[in-house]
Amino acid sequence: MSKYENYTVTSKNYDKSRIVPTLDEIQRSLETCAKTCQVPVERMILLDAGCGTGNYIEQVKDRVGEIYGLDLNKGMLEQARKKFTNCPNVRLVRGSVTNIPFPDRSFHVAIANLVLHHLDDPNRQPRWENLKNALSEIYRVLKPGGVFAISTTAPEQMEGYWWTELIPSATQRMSSRLPKIEWLRTQLEAIGFQKIETIVSSQTYMPLDIYLDMEGPFKQEFRDGDSTWSLATPEELKQGLDWLRRKIDSNEGESYLQQREKLRRQLGQLTVLLAQK
């Protein structure tokens, strides 16, 4: 469960501004595992760890034999269940990624998409304890030769989101929740994962027409699509929106957006790690 975002509330707006990036990398995970485990992709069992409203399940369910969605938040699972009432190969389970309620060697592939930053309080010691437990649990429930696909944002990639400059304090708080990619690689290797591949992506997890809408931050449903907004105080949010309104009203919005888009293309917004057991 998120340590800071109230997904019971925001789950109602979540799907209005989200799409599913990094599907190519998930497909690569399935194909890699198929070769190693000698199992056709259409017979594989996949775990979506931190499945949320089931956006990724919706895109992948017809490619595999069975898919399990795991999430601790009731609101998210309620939204997901509405989508899969007639999908016998989809099973949704309430539980934590730090203590996965499945036996050892249950899954061919596991995916965790934009989940890691919800697991730990950055001020709590020892740091990253929940994340370490989650990585170990994923390793435990994967079959030998299975693949773990992680989608996350590196701390420096926060600058690749055009609107983070509006709420700099919230952005900094979010950055402190994001593990560095090299740290993640080291942890995965220590647990026993091999052949770790890192892919930087400039894809957005919102449709571009929504993401590039400069009026978007003024709307609650837009802000509910990214949990960074929930870390902003009311004062910081007001200051940021007032600043943006002045930019738009003075016809400087488009040039500002173009500058920020250059950063997205340079830094990317997402990093995918593929690791094999």
270 has which bridge partners? 201
pLDDT at 188: 97
pLDDT at 7: 56
pLDDT at 192: 97
1, part of any domain: no
Give residue-wise pLDDT tens across range 108-152: 999 999 999 989 888 887 789 999 999 999 999 999 999 999 999
DSSP calls for 65-133: SEEEEEES-HHHHHHHHHH-TT-TTEEEEE--TTS-SS-TT-EEEEEEES-GGGS--TTSSSTTHHHHH
pLDDT at 166: 97
173, part of any domain: yes
> What CATH code is carried by the domain that includes residue 43?
3.40.50.150
pLDDT at 15: 60
2, part of any domain: no
- Please tell me the distance from the alpha carbon of residue 169 to that of residue 217, in angstroms, as a whole number: 16
pLDDT at 4: 57
186, part of any domain: yes
Residue 234's Cβ-count burial label (10 Å; 0-12, 13-18, 19+) is exposed
Residues across the chain = 277
204, part of any domain: yes
111, part of any domain: yes
39, part of any domain: yes
Closest by alpha carbon to 162, among 244, 246, 251? Answer: 244
pLDDT at 161: 94
pLDDT at 51: 93
Residue type for 37, please?
C
pLDDT above 70 coverage of the chain, percent = 94
Low-confidence spans in the chain with pLDDT less than 50: 11
DSSP calls for the chain: --SS--HHHHHHHHTTS-----HHHHHHHHHHHHHHHT--GGG-EEEEET-TTSHHHHHHTTTSSEEEEEES-HHHHHHHHHH-TT-TTEEEEE--TTS-SS-TT-EEEEEEES-GGGS--TTSSSTTHHHHHHHHHHHHHEEEEEEEEEEE--GGGGGGSGGGGGSHHHHHHHHTTSPPHHHHHHHHHHHT-EEEEEEEE---SS-HHHHT-TTGGGSHHHHTTSGGGGGS-HHHHHHHHHHHHHHHHTT-HHHHHHHHHHHHHHH-SEEEEEEE-
pLDDT at 241: 98
pLDDT at 22: 87
Domain count, the chain: 1
11, part of any domain: yes
pTM for the predicted model, two decimal places: 0.90
Residue 230's domain comprises: 7-276
pLDDT at 5: 54
pLDDT at 265: 94
